Structures are given as structure tokens and as C-alpha cells.
Amino acid sequence: MPRNKHPEETVQKILDVSLKLFLEKGYERTTILDIVGNLGGLTRGAFYHHFKSKDDLLRTLMEKLSDDNDPFDAVKDMEGASGLEKIKMVFSSGISAKYPELTQATMSLLRQPRFLAKHIEDTHDTAKLFVSLIEEGMADGSIRPGNAKFLAELGMLLLNFWLVSPIFISNKAEFVGKAVLIKQILDGLGFPLLDEKTMGVVDTIAETLGVPSDSDSPTLRGESKDTG
């Protein structure tokens, strides 16, 4: 078999076809044979040369979608916005709501050690990106002065693991309760990330992840529902 002189084009074609099928049929209902059958002559061997499995493909696809919609680039040179406002913009511009089923499927991968290890690494890398914005917020007074690196890591660990990890999610009431507690922790540290608007984003995340609803759940603004 001749060597593929443009492997990046093959990878991109597989990603493009997979995204189309995942959105049309759903991730669970799309098979590798479905993907190969729409690759215009490429074989299963070509697929497995670049991806170990459908799960591996999904992970790569979601990373590519995130890279193509990098919110950090959008706010980096923005004028007239405080460091905290930029962080809120980044937080509010995730792709999870745009691809809910793919996001749910990606979260389910975190039960596999290999994907969990990669998620930890990605979370650490993302925390690094927040450091400069937090330092900017500390300089302009929108965030209380402190250790920007520790604050970035703590925020990412709370939001990326304790709040949205499938290991910890059980129902909407617990999800909301944890979000409210995270808000209280970050507010106490002088990092008021979760305001009314961004708490609404948290609510959207819960819906995107398919967190089971609970009629006794408090609202995402931390208020108990009226039971009287």
C-alpha cells in the first residue's frame, strides 16, 4: 500500500464525516462501519491507523471543535473589559450547549482511566490559560489580590471535576447545591465568577449533561423553591 502523503487531510476527512454522522444519527447509533462507508474509498485500516476506537475519535473531535472556537483568543486583546469580565466571557462561551449529545458522550468517557488521565492533563493546561486573566483581574481590582495560579487550579478542579464529573453527578438537586457552594467558595476568595448570568450557564450545562431532574431542586441562584 502506498504511503499516505497527506495524513492530516485523512484525519480531517474522518473528523468531518464523523461529526456529520454523529449529529445526524447520534454518537451511540453511529458505527465505525458507517463512518468508513462515507469516507469515499478509505478503508477501516485507514481509520484505525489514526484512531484506536470510536471513543478515541470522539475525544479528538471534541478537542478540535474546542480549538476551532478558542475563547481565550477572543478576549486576549479585548479593550474596556476587566480581567473578571473576560473570564466570565470565556466561561460562557463553551461548545457544550452546541453539541449536547457529543458532550454527554465525552463525559461518559471519563469513567475510563485513559480518558480521565487526559482530562486531568487538559484541565491543568486550561488552568494555566486562566492565570494571566486572573492576574489581570487582580491588577484592575475586579479580583482580590492573591495567588493567581492556585486560584485558577482550584476553580478548574471544582468546576471541571467536582461539579461536572459523571462520578459525582447524581441528580439536579445535588448539582445545583454544589454549584451554589462553589459560588460561595469563590466569592469568599474574592473571585466572583458565578453571578446571575454565569449561574445560568451552569444551569445550561446541567441540561446539556442530562443531569436527572429533581422536583425538590433549589434554583441555580441559590434560593429554595417556595414549598408553601
pLDDT tens digits, 35-94: 999 998 888 998 999 999 999 999 999 888 887 778 888 898 889 999 999 999 998 887
Higher pLDDT pick, 173 / 20: 20
Predicted confidence at residue 64, as pLDDT, reads: 87
147 domain-assigned: yes
78 domain-assigned: yes
215 domain-assigned: no
Q: Read off the CATH number of the domain in which 24 is found.
A: 1.10.10.60
Q: Are residues 29 and 103 in the same domain?
A: no
Structure confidence at residue 4 as a pLDDT band (50, 70, 90): low
What average pLDDT does the structure give for the chain?
Answer: 85
Which residues lie below 8 Å from residue 100, measured CB to CB, with a gap of 6+? 207, 208, 210
**Average pLDDT of the segment spanning 109-124:** 86
Q: Are residues 90 and 30 in the same domain?
A: no
Q: Are residues 204 and 145 in the same domain?
A: yes
The total domain count for the chain is 2
Domain that holds residue 45: 7-54
Q: Are residues 19 and 86 in the same domain?
A: no
**Average pLDDT of the segment spanning 138-161:** 95
84 domain-assigned: yes
Residue with cell 476587566: 82
Q: Are residues 39 and 150 in the same domain?
A: no
Predicted confidence at residue 222, as pLDDT, reads: 41
Q: Are residues 30 and 77 in the same domain?
A: no
Which residues lie below 8 Å from residue 158, measured CB to CB, with a gap of 6+? 182, 185, 186
Q: Are residues 81 and 182 in the same domain?
A: yes
Q: Are residues 191 and 85 in the same domain?
A: yes
Which residues lie below 8 Å from residue 184, measured CB to CB, with a gap of 6+? none
pTM to 2 decimal places: 0.77
